[in-house]
Copies of this chain bind each other. A is one copy, B any other.
Amino acid sequence: MVHRPWSIVKIMKLSIVLSTQPAQFQAATFKGDLETNLARIASLGYNGVELAIRDPKLVDLDTLDGLVCKYNLKVPAMGTGQAWGEEGLSFTDPDPTVRRAAIERIQSHIPVAARFESIIIIGLIRGIVKPGVRDEQAMNWLIDALRECSESAQPHGIQLALEPINRYETTLINNAAQGLELIKRVGADNFGLLLDTFHMNIEEAVIENSIRVCRRHIFHFHVADSNRWHPGAGHLNFKAILETMTSIDYQGWISGEFLPKPDAETAAREGITYLNQI
């Protein structure tokens, strides 16, 4: 790797997660009060905002578009997991109407993603393996849903990124190796991975090796420290992690998804300050 005398992070695009409505999900750093939050995020130096959107039809897209333009922010990705957390929609529910609703919900993100040039994140909407469902059956439902959604997104130039999530939150795709196997089985060029350092700390034997193995399949990247606080609050080696991202020529965004602790603004400020110092 070429030695770079300047900050690694300053050449990367940084965003942070913001929920467009009050969310149960704890790790959405900023919640509610849209314009105030966008103004804060921009003033802290972030280049983009990753939006957690439960249901696109509940979001006033013109207002949102106006606001992100006003604060000169990009929207690199949109999270969809609140549809699972708050409505129970999932690709792997034994009830076919629930599975269909989950697929249609993701499809309803496509025009929004096209407008904002965002990646659509497949997080917990993939579901968990419910009692009475065989693992293989759940995996087949998941693959079918991902194929259908990727196919719908493809003509719009939209990418889907599935996030491996640690063992405590789901049993379906916990690590990078399982993510790569899934990519093979789905077989769509616009379907890839979102890696998250908090989950990787638990699931990957060596974080940097997993990044190297996933390489061009990494469509999006979340940073949180080992304790899910902002980078710098735990013991992850972000220098090594971001150097590895540079070494694989990652062109996407680095997006902060961490707990709003001690409060959202402090977390966002400390996180970007820490990353910029690397």
Chain A residues at the B interface, C-beta cutoff of 8 Å: 168-169, 201-207, 225-227, 229, 233-235
Contacts and interface: CB of A to CB of B under 8 A. Distances in A.
Contacts of A226: 201-202, 205
A89 to B, nearest CB: 23
A234 B227 CA distance: 17
A30 to B, nearest CB: 21
The 9 closest A-B pairs by CB, nearest first: A168-B168, A205-B234, A206-B235, A205-B233, A203-B227, A205-B227, A201-B226, A202-B202, A205-B235
Q: Which of A207, A227, A229 has the most CB of B within 10 A?
A: A227
Contacts of A204: 227, 235
B201 A202 contact: yes
Contact of A207 (B225, B229, B235): B235
A269 to B, nearest CB: 18
A236 to B, nearest CB: 10
A202 B200 CA distance: 11
Contacts of A207: 235
A182 to B, nearest CB: 19
Contacts of A206: 234-235
21 contacts: A168-B168, A168-B169, A201-B201, A201-B202, A201-B235, A202-B202, A202-B226, A202-B227, A203-B227, A204-B227, A204-B235, A205-B225, A205-B226, A205-B227, A205-B229, A205-B233, A205-B234, A205-B235, A206-B234, A206-B235, A207-B235
A276 to B, nearest CB: 20
A207 B236 CA distance: 11
A199 B78 CA distance: 31
A228 to B, nearest CB: 8
